[in-house]
Structure 1
Amino acid sequence: MPSHDFLPSEQPVQLLDQDGRRVEDPKRAFPSDEDLLRAHEALVVGRRINEQAYALVRQGRLAVYPSSYGQEACEVAAALVLDDQDWLFPTYRDVVSIIGRGVDPVETLTLLKGDWHCGYDPTEHRVAPQTTPLATQLIHAVGVAHAATLRGEDTVVMAMCGDGATSEGDFHEALNFAAVFKAPVVFFVQNNEYAISVPLARQTVAPSLAHKAVGYGMPGERVDGNDVAALLSVLGDAVHAARSGAGPSLVEAHTYRMQAHTNADDATRYRQDDEVAAWQGRDPLLRSKAYLTGRELLTDERTAEIAAKAEAVATVMRDGLMQDVEPVPGDLFEHVHATPTPQLREQAAFLADELSREKVS
């Protein structure tokens, strides 16, 4: 394939403008009404998940929460374009995507509450554990994709990361590995402009993050990360290409983190209010609603049904995380390795001895 075919578009792909009006793009298929309604429902649920999680943080029921408020279109599309046999490799910010794959909301948030190592069974819904170290999951994602190819399985892996992860060595290793072995991976970069407090301009001077794909011999594409229609189209095409044997690709979504990096972050120290305000009008939820309402596809009855579903998910989160769980300290050493190492056995014995001494005293 000629190298120019790898280059992303000059402007991010957009199928719905800021006001919810359709934008014609002859290179991209516009999603069906059914797909857009399903995506809108997931957007509403995703927004409610973010709101409820922040409330649970304030109530002391979550230790930390990395909000995806404003980025829900990316979260929703990443989950919707995958088939049941595919794998999702999320980051710490991708709670909405994980729940979108069918993982129980309470189990999804267990890690962020501070319980257990993961909180859910990764194999049940083919969702890898959330990761807090940047980019480490990308290499694992390529390994799973390559293994599936060797076994002759029809599997595509969606490997998610943020713009900050593209500055890590693991990002380079993952893309190079995937390209060399033609692994069926879609690297999905949610460029929300900041790696905690470090703006994108201090991370790279490349024309875009999608341009990085060219150096590895894979196609890159840019997409409006607040346009759920464009995301469904671009990510859907990338998944289809990977499934068809075309190998990996990189998709960069241009979006914005509306809230702080986590509840422990003070975003006012490194960005201005007018910058945040400029992105409020690009809200993916409002854009989707405007389009569907204008087409008379989103009725009052359907809106009420979606709102009720979103509230039901929030209730599950609230009720589940409000329950106190008696910790079992020995569980720290379970499921680290299939066969415990000598070091793990030594540490477990040390902790057991310490706890027994406390009981005696």
Structure 2
Amino acid sequence: MCAKYLFMLFLLAYAAEAQRVFNVKDYGAIEDGNTDNSVAFVRAWSDACKWNGESTVLIPHGTYMSKSVIFNGPCKGSTTFQINGDLKAPIDPSMLVDQKWINFRYIDKLSVNGGGAFNGQGTATRKKCQNDSCQILFTSMVFDFITNGRIENLHSVDSKGGHFIVFGCGNMTFTNLTLTSPTNNRNTDGIKISHTNGINITSVKIGTGDDCVAMISGTKNVRITDVFCGPGHGISVGSLGGGNPHELPVEDVVVRNCTFNGSMNGVQIKTWPNPSKTPLNISNFIYEDIVMINVKTPIFINQQYCPEHNCDLTKSSYVQISNVSYKNIRGISATDIAVNLNCSMEFPCQNVTLEDIDLWSSGGKRGKHLKNYCFNVKGSSYGKQIPPSCLPSNKF
């Protein structure tokens, strides 16, 4: 019995040693909400990253301010960044660099969680910059070249620019998150993804002054489920086709079981009228089981995207859109538009399908005054179509 007891103690001690916690307060972090803690954070991260086993950098309860900070890998084992308290960005943007506040780079098996919050203090910065004309588009948290990552149980509020940027990553999950910014704070995207293969976004609430989710160059294999979007500009593919010769396709995107409330758009694909005529193919999108509540344009393909209204709209987009399916989309439009498929004259949209679409006006009568628009689209409609579809009807 004694030997067995000693062996159990040995196992417990080994497990505790293999899973080590690096508390930032042990590295001099101060929870007064004003002191810069970036040095303490980096020192704790450096030791955790070198640990040959599972390690956790702990931000305990309290409010901690930090300048821009980079957490570099690769690390020897799986690493968790656990935010139990609150992180605050400085109001003065001169204390931030490279358009980023918190940046994780070159890490395999990264987890960021803890139930805490990070506050970008974007509104205060915007007020300051009205007088100083300073740059404010700093992203709260950036993930560069992360593989096998999991970001969960966090709150991001009042970002200066976007909340999350994901670049060059693979196999990442974002779940149980709340991302909020004031509606009138522009360029505050929720999750922006590029050059990334394999993203799962689920059980997330996003309300911003820009896209809830934006998928741009090189985004592949994305699954978006159980997302609440509003306010904001919708869940977007693009913008694409602006003349960058190195732009890559966006492929294999599924948006399912999501709700849009008060957003400018619902599900949208947006491309520029392309002056450089560099062809780009984007394909294989499924939008299914979606509820729209007072959304200005519930279903939107816009291949004349030009937010500053300074483009030559006689020129065609050189982005080829194909294999797009809209199924079981229902709810209320805040305008007289239900579906607007405005495709390229040079490269008409191919194989677009509308199935069981049931959208009505905010006046409450299904299909009343609502219109569908189809330009340069090749496709079909199936099942219920309220209002009547602008694509040819087919029976199963």
Give the TM bin, normalised by the shorter chain: under 0.3
Q: Greater helix percent: which structure?
A: 1
Greater RCO structure (CA 8 Å; 6+ sep): 1
Q: Greater strand percent: which structure?
A: 2
Q: What is the TM-score normalised by the length of structure 2?
A: 0.21
Q: What is the TM-score normalised by the length of structure 1?
A: 0.22
Larger-Rg structure: 2
